[in-house]
Amino acid sequence: MKPIHPYLDNTGRDDVIDGGTKMIPIKTEKGTFNVWTKRTGNNPAVKVLILHGGPGASCEYLEAFDTIFPGAGVEYYYYEQLGSFRSDQPNEPSLWELDRFVEEVEQVRIALGLGKDNFFILGQSWGGILAIEYALTHQEHLKGVIISNMMSNCLAYNEYAENVLMPQMDQEILAKIKGFEARGETDNPEYEELLFEHHYVYHVLRAPLEEWPNSVMRGLNRINKDIYVPLQGPSELGMSGKLLDWNRTEDLAKINIPALVISAEYDTMDPAYMEKMSKILPKGELVYCPNGSHLAMYDDRDVYANGLLAFLEKHK
């Protein structure tokens, strides 16, 4: 018997919750599970599927797009990947693999009826990795791809953290943070407090913590660590999980569709490296947010929004 999902309605239709919200069944080798999606808007020419970060976060932290897309008439879809807050969360560690997530995105695309005449994919952070992999596998279905706040080489991402970001920190604080990580105590509240005070407010969202939007706090607090830790690793200062050796920089040349790279000056991702990415992509473009960080759609919203909307308008 199929388990009842907490976000299904009681009308007897298990694919619709309310309005544009839909549960999509995803077939895997471990069975069929449901993922949550929500459509806003109606535009036959421009449909954007948003891939959230984490991995394992809720897409709530990306609700900034509710202030960007509706006024421009863009049809867009929030989608929580398998294992995330509003989707099924099976206890199946073998499902947390990059290629399986790519296949999941393809099943979501088919279920939503998206295709090469209207389908743009936008991946932020880990979602950027997923967007690159999806484009390399299924670009025939895409009209364009947006890679937001994610480098195409995780080892280079670690090098930037080690050589640029960490030297800027108070070294005694950095030693304490690394001590927690070495002892496997990343769930310690002090570890999280140190990260917020000395890292997050400079490189994740450049505002005092008390000013962070509720949507961002909800999204980050709901990260499924059963997915996050195996793929990303336990450290918040770099990559150490399964994705450590992921590198698609040279393969970007194979993505022959319009592609936008969005970088930010204070991001955890090297803006110079992301500019290089935009030049390797055959049809690459760059939006650089001079006042932004990892969540530049909040702390450099106008630059982020204007660049993104101009790209969609140009290629619709």
The CATH code for residues 1-316 is 3.40.50.1820
Q: pTM for this one?
A: 0.93
Residue 187's pLDDT is 87
Residue 86's pLDDT is 96
Band of residue 18 on the pLDDT scale cut at 50, 70, 90? very low
- The residue-averaged pLDDT of 176-181 equals 94
Residue 232's pLDDT is 95
267 classed as catalytic: yes
Separation of alpha carbons 117 and 109, rounded Å: 13
Separation of alpha carbons 19 and 146, rounded Å: 27
Residue 104's pLDDT is 98
- Over residues 25-68, the pLDDT tens digits come to 999 999 999 999 999 999 999 999 999 999 999 999 999 999 99
- The residue-averaged pLDDT of 179-204 equals 93
**In whole numbers, what is the pLDDT of the chain averaged over residues?**
92
Kindly tell me if the per-residue pLDDT of 182 is higher than 70: yes
Band of residue 5 on the pLDDT scale cut at 50, 70, 90? very low
Kindly tell me if the per-residue pLDDT of 80 is higher than 70: yes
Q: For 239-254, b where at least 16 C-beta lie within 10 A, e where not — what string?
A: bebbbbebebeeebee
Kindly tell me if the per-residue pLDDT of 183 is higher than 80: yes
125, 152, 235, 293: the active-site residue: 125
- Percent of the chain past pLDDT 90, that is, above it, reads 90
Kindly tell me if the per-residue pLDDT of 8 is higher than 90: no
CB atoms under 10 Å from CB of 200, counted, come to: 22
Residue 11's pLDDT is 27
Residue 39's pLDDT is 96
141 classed as catalytic: no
- The residue-averaged pLDDT of 77-89 equals 97
- Over residues 212-261, the pLDDT tens digits come to 999 999 998 999 999 999 999 988 899 999 999 999 999 999 999 999 99
Kindly tell me if the per-residue pLDDT of 194 is higher than 70: yes
- Over residues 244-254, the pLDDT tens digits come to 999 999 999 99
88, 294, 299, 300: the active-site residue: 294
Band of residue 10 on the pLDDT scale cut at 50, 70, 90? very low
Band of residue 16 on the pLDDT scale cut at 50, 70, 90? very low
> Hey, is 177 helix, strand or coil?
helix
267, 270, 299, 300: the active-site residue: 267
Rg (CA), the chain: 19
125 classed as catalytic: yes
**Per-residue H/E/C for 35-88:** EEEEEECCCCCCEEEEECCCCCCCHHHHHHHHHCCHHHCCEEEEEECCCCCCCC
Helix and strand tally (H, E) in the chain? 12, 8
Which residues, other chains included, contact 13 with Cβ-Cβ below 8 Å and sequence gap of 6+? none
- The residue-averaged pLDDT of 93-100 equals 97
Residue 235's pLDDT is 86
- The residue-averaged pLDDT of 189-201 equals 94
Q: Where are the domains of the chain?
A: 1-316
Band of residue 162 on the pLDDT scale cut at 50, 70, 90? very high
* Ramachandran angles phi, psi of 178, nearest 5°: -65, -30
